[in-house]
Amino acid sequence: MSLPSASESQRREFGPQPIAAILQELGLRSRDLVNASTEQLTYKMVSKACRGRWLSNNVRGKVLRALNKASGGNYTLPDLFNYS
């Protein structure tokens, strides 16, 4: 297996995402999302979401549902991520 090229790596890094600001604004931590999730959400997934590492639709959905459950909010994917 070959290593990804620099351009491939850059396409998977989108910089800090809105979810990081939302978590900070609400006073929530990764632990709160992991504990709220019933779908095997991991700390690593939440960390990648906040940092802007590309996540599959499935993982983004897990993060979204956990945030809505933990916060009592009604967020959508475009609220949390600035990439599709």
d(CA 33, CA 12): 23
Structural domain containing residue 58: 14-80
pLDDT in tens, 21-33: 999 999 999 999 9
Report the domain count for the chain.
Answer: 1
Inside any domain, residue 3: no
pLDDT in tens, 49-61: 999 999 999 999 9
What's 28's domain CATH number? 1.10.260
pTM: 0.86
Inside any domain, residue 23: yes
